[in-house]
Amino acid sequence: MLYWFSPKTSRRLLLLLASYLFYMSWLPVYGILIFFLSICNYLLGLAIDRRGKNTKALFISGLCFNLGMLCYFKYTNFFISTFNEFSACGSTLLHKSEIFSLPTINIILPLGISFFVFEFIHYLTDVYKGDKAIKNPIDFGLFAAFFPSQIAGPIKRYQDFVAQLGNAEVFDGHLFHTGLVLVLQGLFKKIALADNLAPLANAGFAGSSNLGTIDAWIAAVAFALQIYFDFSGYTDIGRGSAKMLGFSLPDNFNFPYLASSLSDFWKRWHISLSSWLRDYLYIPLGGGRCSRLSKSRNLMITMLLGGLWHGAAWHFVIWGGLHGAGLIINHSYDDLVRKFAFLQKLHMHTAGKCFSTIVTFLFVLTAWVFFRADNAHIALEVLGSMLTPARSSSVLELYLQSPINVAFGLYGAYALLFSLDNYRCFTFTTALRQKLRLALPTRVLVYASAFLAALGFCPSNPSPFIYFQF
């Protein structure tokens, strides 16, 4: 309300201040960090833009500066602990009693640093390639600190964002309404679905050494669904808040677990990150227009770094490696399908599509187990339990006590009625809504009910957003 009723000229500044206030409410000192990074990248962008193409050194120093910041805050302790582990191994092998180890540094990871550093890299790269830099420092500051996407994305493209700055001058009732629907949907996904799935996954992974078969499956599937609803819930809240302010942020998810192949999965899961990795890592490495070996190498490097981006731990690297290997196999299989007509027919058939979807989901599920487990040993224990028949107990019991099934039912009804317009198979709901033509008070009532439902299903100890740690 404050935003829409403030004068047009001061809205951007107001939004910028609100974004800094939002970020600094977590840890005030890191407001200075984001301000410093914004100033540096703003000046670098201007310098690259003014000097034209002969700014390779400036561009590379900009990249190094941003990646250096990311590495310092996120990976310093990871590198130190890895070095110490190698040092300990070396000492054992060489039968030395003294182990040389480096002390770890007490660093608090700034919220969302992985996201805004990627946005800065995209900005500098595109300006270096010839796009216009943002001249107005307030506009650039807003691009860097825009609160709906600040903590966990989606990773914006500055060209789209700047183009919308003019939109924020006129109140759009429909956009506001769509935003509200998205915020409510995101809230429900997070507190009613993800937070009720979390105890199932936590119980399974905490007791990995003593899991029954069904327990292990429930824990793995619960985590796959938890991470989807947690992250897509956050994205919905962020996108919805942005819409209420007159901005459209890129979509991040499109029913990822219905993907029919792994490459399809990456077109549906965390779309803003996968497209960033494609544009700023995979293609610069050579992309797919090279020999099969080079293409496979590029895929593997992209996915390994994508895994490491998620967190400074080896299990994330394994997760990235698994996806890299999966994509290499996927691409080779696609080549094979193109050669044989019967394989093409098989994949066109509904049963073939279903089979591909199931196989893809099982692969993604296996990779999630490595992502969620604290180390590879736990992941192998959970996977072992999934494949070894054993009596179930604790997690199954928790699942039967959980209100999650009813929450899923309610979510389905809400999504059908209000938020699946973009999907062809659900267009009938748009027609139904138009037929119903609910008046404003009635719509408010529906939203209040959705909010109440989310509150009702909220567990007593909600979990933090998973992607906040990245």
Partner 1 sequence: MSSVINEKPERMASFDNRPSASKRSIYRTASEFLLVLLFAIVVLETAFALAGIGDQEYLKPDPEAGFVIMPEHSITFRREGFSRNHFNKFGMADRQRNKAKEPGTFRIAVLGDSIIEALQVERSQSACALLERSLNDHFEGKRKIEVLNFAVSAYNIGQMYVRLKTLVFDFQPDLVVLFVRHHSTYDVIPQANEPFPKGARPCFFVGEGGKLVEDRTAFKQWARSGPGKRVYAFSWLREHSRIWGVIGKALEQASRDWAKMCSSLNGWGAEVSNKQTAFSLSVQSNSDGSPSTQTTASSGKSNLTANNSTVNSEAPFTKVDNAEKCIKCFFPIVDALIGEMSQLCLQHNCSFSVAYMPARDSAAELERKLCRTAAEKRSVAFMDLGAGFEQAKKVSPESIYFVCHLSKRGNAVLAATLKNSLLEKGLLKERPKLY
The least CB distance from residue 302 to partner 1, in Å, is 36
Helix (H, G, I), strand (E, B) or coil at 189: helix
Indicate whether 446 belongs to the interface with partner 1 (CB under 8 A). yes
| Cα end-to-end span (Å), the chain | 32
Helices (H), 52-112: 56-70, 76-93
Please select the residue that binds partner 1; options are 5, 120, 134, 340, rule is CB under 8 A.
5
Q: Is the omega angle on the peptide bond into residue 154 within 30 degrees of 0, that is, cis? A: yes
Indicate whether 457 belongs to the interface with partner 1 (CB under 8 A). yes
The least CB distance from residue 467 to partner 1, in Å, is 24
Q: Read off the tokens for 157.
A: 């493209």
Please select the residue that binds partner 1; options are 4, 83, 100, 428, rule is CB under 8 A.
4
Active site residue 310: yes
Which residue among the candidates 270, 310, 315, 331 is catalytic per the annotation?
Answer: 310
Please select the residue that binds partner 1; options are 17, 359, 432, 455, rule is CB under 8 A.
455
Please select the residue that binds partner 1; options are 332, 445, 464, 469, rule is CB under 8 A.
445
Task: Give the span between the Cα atoms of 1 and 330, in whole angstroms.
Answer: 49
Taking CB under 8 A as the rule, which mask of x and - marks residues 395-414 in contact with partner 1?
------x-x-xxx-xx--x-
Closest CA to 331 of 302, 354, 369, 309: 302
Q: 370, 379 in Cβ contact below 8 A?
A: yes
Please select the residue that binds partner 1; options are 356, 417, 430, 468, rule is CB under 8 A.
430
Task: Give the span between the Cα atoms of 49 and 293, in whole angstroms.
Answer: 36
The amino acid at 33: L
Please select the residue that binds partner 1; options are 49, 131, 172, 264, rule is CB under 8 A.
172
The amino acid at 67: L
Indicate whether 170 belongs to the interface with partner 1 (CB under 8 A). yes
Indicate whether 27 belongs to the interface with partner 1 (CB under 8 A). no
Which range binds partner 1 by CB under 8 A, 141-149, 204-212, 332-340, 457-465?
Answer: 457-465
Task: Give the span between the Cα atoms of 83 and 85, in whole angstroms.
Answer: 5
Residue with tokens 């529906």: 446
- Contact residues: partner 1, CB under 8 A: 4-5, 170-175, 401, 403, 405-407, 409-410, 413, 430, 433-434, 437-442, 445-446, 449, 452-453, 455-457, 459-460
Which residues are part of the catalytic machinery? 310
